[in-house]
A and B are shown apart, each in its own frame.
Chain A
Amino acid sequence: MQAMAQTTCTKNKKQGEITIRTSRFGEMSIDPEKIITMTSPFLGFSGSKRFVVKPHGKKSPFFWLQSLDEPKLAFVCIQADILVPQYQPEISNLIRLELQASPQQALDILLVLTIPKDNIEGMTANLMGPVAINPQKRLAKQVLQDPVSYDACWPVFTQDTAE
């Protein structure tokens, strides 16, 4: 039996948490206050507007962005400055406006990782489509960058060690 077409959100008694159903993690209890809303969805996934951040662990730099709208959809992400300190994506004022952020306000920049199943060291980061999050309003958007400046599948590890 498979029921993955729908995400069910049921009210939980304790502290207003809601339970969501996911393909990878089964049922998860989440605080509705922590839901991140995409001002425009990930390209290719127009049905998913709401996500939660699921950290991988205290010592791990990785986390998932798990969709609330599609149980199967989760991206593995990392904070951009941890992976690529010199990375400076362009976030225009219009996009800041869309995220309800002031021109000075710091935004979180996440990179979506593609991790080949049988070859972890072939992992790549999408520098062309970083995700900007306004942590105060919990609004997010994938902000496309100039392809001349940034690669959509930038290898995280050097070629000679990936073997």
Chain B
Amino acid sequence: MLILARKPGEAIAIGDGIKIRVLEIKGGQVKIGIEAPAEVMVHREEIYLRIVEENIRAAAEAPADLSSLVSVFGDDKTRNKPPLTGGR
């Protein structure tokens, strides 16, 4: 891994299109500004990993037969209602 020291206001250029700038350091937190082309996805790592994990689980467990699912799903009163944010 390449390790560089930067002060607030200083930046790192990656290739032609990506710039990562340290904006502020305060209370154990670093604020970072990122400029990147639209097609480059930029996400907090934990969100990215969460989606990877959930995609892998969904793909691994996807059953080939869904018929039992339909009967369960038809029973509307057991269906969940808001909130849309959950435990994890």
Contacts and interface: CB of A to CB of B under 8 A. Distances in A.
Q: Do A and B come from one complex?
A: yes
Interface of A: 24-25, 40, 42-45, 56-57, 59-62, 64, 72-76, 84, 86-87, 94, 97-98, 112-117, 120-121, 123, 126-129, 142, 144, 147-158, 161
Interface of B: 38-39, 41, 43, 47-48, 50-59, 61-64, 66-70, 72-73, 78-82, 84-88
A57 B69 CA distance: 12
Contacts of A148: 85
A51 to B, nearest CB: 12
Name which of B52, B59, B66, B86 has the most chain A CB atoms within 10 A of its CB: B59
B58 A76 contact: yes
A155 B66 CA distance: 18
B71 to A, nearest CB: 9
Contacts of A40: 39, 41
B78 to A, nearest CB: 4
A64 B62 contact: yes
A126 B68 CA distance: 21
A87 B38 CA distance: 25
A76 B62 contact: yes
Contacts of A156: 73, 79-80
Given A43-B55, A157-B78, A157-B79, A147 B62 contact: no
Given A56-B66, A62-B70, A152-B54, 9 more contacts: A76-B58, A86-B84, A97-B38, A112-B58, A113-B58, A114-B57, A115-B58, A115-B61, A144-B47
Given A44-B55, A112-B58, A152-B88, A60 B66 contact: yes
Contact of A117 (B51, B56, B63, B79): B63
Contacts of A120: 68-69, 72
